[in-house]
Amino acid sequence: MDPETGRILNRLMRQCAAREYCCNDIRRKLAALPSPEAAEVLERLCREGYVDDARYARAFARDKSALQGWGNLKIKLALQRKGIGESAIAEALSEIDGAAATARLEQVLGAKWKTLQRETDARRREAKFFRYGLGRGYSYEEIKRIYDHLRRD
């Protein structure tokens, strides 16, 4: 490994120690290197545990669910775009705290419901509510349950 590649490897090791990256992120960062050296750097980062797609998927799913209120579908699609394997995605989604995710869903959709109270047309209000929930990655059934509850109150 030439000195320049070693310097890049050390920089990436520091970055990976500070936060999670997936293999696809590192490939993008290594795009400037000639391909044999880039592959060697990525392989070493994976071998030494700096980059792990399954660990990245778990952290990503946990954070997006808890902090930004994303639903499982949106998380799954984002991970697929990152090139994460289906088994790692399934494992990550299974580790999301269901009770906390449901509470976050109710909070997010409850806030949206309050903003839609100015809408005079009930059909438009319902369409906007469902479109918002679906855009956040929740299933129709989850949104419908919250909608029925909010409409009754």
Domain boundaries, the chain: 3-47, 53-94, 98-152
In CATH, the architecture of 53-94 is: Orthogonal Bundle (1.10)
Q: For residues 10-25, b (16+ Cβ closer than 10 Å) or e, as one string?
A: eebbeebeeebbbbeb
For 49-83, how does the pLDDT look when each residue is reduced to its tens digit (9 = 90+)?
999 999 999 999 999 999 999 999 999 999 999 99
Question: In this model, does residue 48 exceed pLDDT 80?
Answer: yes
Task: Name the residue among 52, 66, 54, 64 with its Cα closest to residue 107.
Answer: 66
Residue 43's pLDDT band (boundaries 50, 70, 90)? very high
Give the whole-angstrom CA distance, residue 8 versus residue 31.
Answer: 12
**Structure tokens, 58:** 């778990």
Are 79 and 99 in contact, with CB atoms under 8 Å apart? Answer: no
Distance CA 28, CA 46 (A): 15
CA atoms lying within 13 Å on the CB side of residue 33:
23
Per-residue pLDDT band at 37 (split at 50, 70, 90): confident
What pLDDT is stored for residue 57 in this prediction? 97
